[in-house]
Amino acid sequence: MTISPLARPFPAIPDIAGVRIGTATARYKPWLRADVTVVELAPGTTVAGVLTRSKCPSPEVETCRANLPQGSARALVVNAGNSNAFTGMTGRDASRRQVARLAELVGCPADQVFVASTGVIGVPLPADKAEAGVTAAHAALGEASFEAATAAIGTTDTFAKGAIAHAFVAGQRVTVAGIVKGSGMIAPDMATMLGFVFTDAVVAAPLLQAMLAEATAHSFNSITVDSDTSTSDTVLAFATGKAGHAALTAPDSPGADAFAAALTQVCRELAHLVVRDGEGATKFITIDVTGAEDDRAAKVVALSIANSPLVKTAIAGGDANWGRVVMAVGKAGERAERDRLAIDFGVTRVAANGMVVPDYDEAPVTAHLAGSDVDIGVDLGIGDGRARVWTCDLTHGYISINADYRS
């Protein structure tokens, strides 16, 4: 697998107190790599999560959804190579057995174990491999780094994706670190994307949930690779509380803002990395929509542009084809007035007042589009609504990967 030209190096992530990681090889596919990851979390760890809105979710997603309300987590297991989605009772039973086994090993109630699987849809998780794998990964706790875990949760990813940020909360320095896997089937609602964020901060579960939901809206749910949404999307945040500061319990708790900012930064960086590993991607595209009726409308328009195959192929070809941007604005269905519309590529305004800017300078536009980071700005000129989303271009690489990858 060729590494994405938009790849970023994995950051240095220190240990986080209360988090221990182990990996093992269950051989969900005929490979030698680690494909089961176990994370043990200290007693008292709180948890929050955002899950796929797919109407056909995997049993793992259902387990997380059922366990989230009680707010406590002691363990996480992640399987790579088999999503266990659409596998009926057989798949459900296998996942439950794995979760029960991990609960037994950790010594906690089963509803404090969280689980995610990613990979092929429709092949039941092999129960024996899953149980042996989770047992082996638990036995290896403490031996794996965040980077090793990231490799073990990946599937079609071409590079390991992690992010880290710090915040001062009540005088204490806390760490927020996250890892993510995902490359295709990425759309808002997170597609085949698994993201896990860990912090030593002390955060009450309801507040953590609210902060994660907000951070996700502006990160994982503001990206799209191919508009497709998976059956297994999962983002979980775990707070071990080992930093020992006064607990964050409300948005106005001292330090809550700083912690939320760090959490949002990590989520945004992870989301960007997923786009940077978008299947076949050669350009990282930022789309800003301003002047919309409201923020919701702005996001609909921005995603219409970001999901347009014609816009994405134009960028792949280095073509400042603002006509296709007009098309995507028009089809979004939100309020727009053609004659107030303005479009920028990079810092150059190419269209305004319903037509091309006469004699705009093409040189900086061409230079901007030749780079690996492309910015498209659209001002609708009718209100204060704004949104920013990120996507990648659509290339031959995407076709090659997806016309061959077999279930």
Q: How far is CA 36 from CA 61, 104, 358, in A?
A: 17, 17, 58
Q: Of the two residues 13 and 115, which places its CB atom closer to a copy of itself in the complex?
A: 115
192 given a catalytic annotation: yes
The DSSP H or E segment spanning 271 is helix 256-276
Q: Of the two residues 56 and 250, which places its CB atom closer to a copy of itself in the complex?
A: 56
Q: How far is CA 121 from CA 21, 50, 78, 167, in A?
A: 26, 20, 15, 39
Tell the smallest beta-carbon distance from residue 225 to a copy of itself (Å).
9
Tell the smallest beta-carbon distance from residue 87 to a copy of itself (Å).
5
Q: Which two tokens stand for residue 376?
A: 């498209």
Instruction: Please give the backbone phi and psi of residue 217, each rounded to the nearest 5 degrees, phi first.
Output: -55, -35
Tell the smallest beta-carbon distance from residue 19 to a copy of itself (Å).
32
Q: Of the two residues 173 and 331, which places its CB atom closer to a copy of itself in the complex?
A: 331
Tell the smallest beta-carbon distance from residue 193 to a copy of itself (Å).
13
Selected catalytic residue, list 118, 192, 231, 234? 192
Q: Of the two residues 67 and 229, which places its CB atom closer to a copy of itself in the complex?
A: 229
CA 54 to chain CA centroid, Å, is: 15
3-state SS record for 149-200: HHHHHCCCCCCCEEEEEEEEECCEEEEEEEEEECCCCCCCCCCCCEEEEEEC
Q: State the Cα torsion 86-89-93-94 to the nearest 10°.
A: -40
Q: Which of 191, 127, 159, 399 is nearest to 279 (CA)?
A: 399
Under a CB-based contact definition with an 8 Å cutoff, are residues 57 and 280 in contact?
no
How far apart are the two ends of the chain, measured CA to CA in Å? Answer: 18
Q: Of the two residues 173 and 338, which places its CB atom closer to a copy of itself in the complex?
A: 338
CA 394 to chain CA centroid, Å, is: 19
Tell the smallest beta-carbon distance from residue 152 to a copy of itself (Å).
22
Q: Of the two residues 237 and 341, which places its CB atom closer to a copy of itself in the complex?
A: 341
Tell the smallest beta-carbon distance from residue 231 to a copy of itself (Å).
5
Active site residues: 192
